[in-house]
Amino acid sequence: MSSQAARLVVLVSGSGTNLQALLDASADEAYGARVVAVGADRHDIEGLARAERAGVPSFVEKLPDHESRDAWDRAIAARIAEYRPDLVVCAGFMKILGQPTLAAFPVLNTHPALLPSFPGAHGVRDALAYGVRITGCTVILADAGVDSGPIVAQEAVPVLDGDDEETLHERIKTVERNLLVETVGRMAREGWTVTGRTVCLGRPSG
């Protein structure tokens, strides 16, 4: 493993609790990664305040500030590229990234369900409505679809009697945060390979 930490650009749209977990983890040199920039699609969010408190550069690219979605896709890809990331992490980022970013960088995303079940914006609500007894969270390598990229890691979370969307989602978020931090660290330290839809952490031997 290279002694140089992997460079992370983290994208946020809200409170940035996953970002904070990555900032905390990267304070340990042994983690193998550090957050070099935080990007957002809106101003005045706690995620940007977290970046400022940590002394991490940040940028904002608002979709309405651009003449088209394609123009925004190109603009945010260019802003990300300024920081030469080894990995881009969507940490509660509420926009689907376009081909300019996906073609240039590996992009990691999380989802509060066990994909491929219950993709989309209401994964927790949909799992509850279906009546599953086990749900969880997934870390994926993002592609052009909605929650359709190759799965990197998953962890199960039981659905308890009396759960509503809020209580279940809070338990999932705790597990998701830990899983994201663990997965990013392993990818930074060990590398990864993708064969078809199968992601293997660690570099091939030999």
Residues recognised as catalytic: 111
CB 138 within 8 A of CB 179: no
- The verdict on pTM exceeding 0.85 is yes
- Which SS3 state, helix, strand or coil, does residue 192 take? strand
pLDDT at 203: 74
CA 166, CA 79: separation in Å to the nearest integer? 34
Per-residue pLDDT of the chain (206 residues; tens, 9 = 90+): 345 899 999 999 999 999 999 999 999 999 999 999 999 999 999 999 999 999 999 999 999 999 999 999 999 999 999 999 999 999 999 899 999 999 999 999 999 999 999 999 999 999 999 999 999 999 999 998 889 999 999 999 999 999 999 999 999 999 999 999 999 999 999 999 999 999 999 876 64
Q: Could you count the other beta carbons within 10 Å of the beta carbon of residue 87?
A: 19
